Amino acid sequence: MAQVRCEVTGVFVAAGESAAAPLVLLADSSGRKLPIFIGISEAIAINSALHRETLPRPFTHDLFIDLITRFSIALSSLRIDSLQDGVYYAQLVLRDETREEDIDCRPSDGIAIALRAFVPIYVEEGLLPEAGKAAELPALVSLSAFLTR
């Protein structure tokens, strides 16, 4: 199937009556949305990258970017390519002068890294309609607003 370029529209908390769960929301150019539920640490890392915040100490994702840069490895893209048993799977696409490699990663880590490296995020075409049909989200609150309550 085809890969569709998506952008991160924000990091939110889905606030239900009994619980709150962080999620990152991706959207393609036609407005189809893909919510991916993530942990709070991952939400903070993605939100930090999305808002280009510079922290006094690097996150692990910053360390990863520094490492690949120093060793002349280029990050080409992030591909979110499958959904199995309710879990999304992703691949970071890395290359050097001689080869290209796909490295398995959690979508949340991949998104945090892709945002820091300014590389595109692609989603498998078939995941967007599936997510749109399955996702009935409660009210969404931005992560920043949720954390300052």
> pLDDT (tens digit, 0 to 9) for every residue of the chain, 149 residues total?
699 999 999 999 987 777 789 999 999 998 889 999 999 999 999 999 999 988 888 889 999 999 999 999 999 999 999 999 999 999 999 999 899 999 999 999 999 999 999 999 999 999 986 554 445 666 788 887 777 76
CA torsion, ordered 47, 53, 54, 57, to nearest 10 deg? -30
The enclosing domain of 79 has a CATH number of 3.10.690.10
Residue 65: give the domain boundaries: 3-147
- C-alpha count within 13 angstroms, C-beta hemisphere, residue 140: 16
Structure tokens at 2: 């085809």
pTM: 0.89
Count structural domains, the chain.
1
- C-alpha count within 13 angstroms, C-beta hemisphere, residue 39: 6
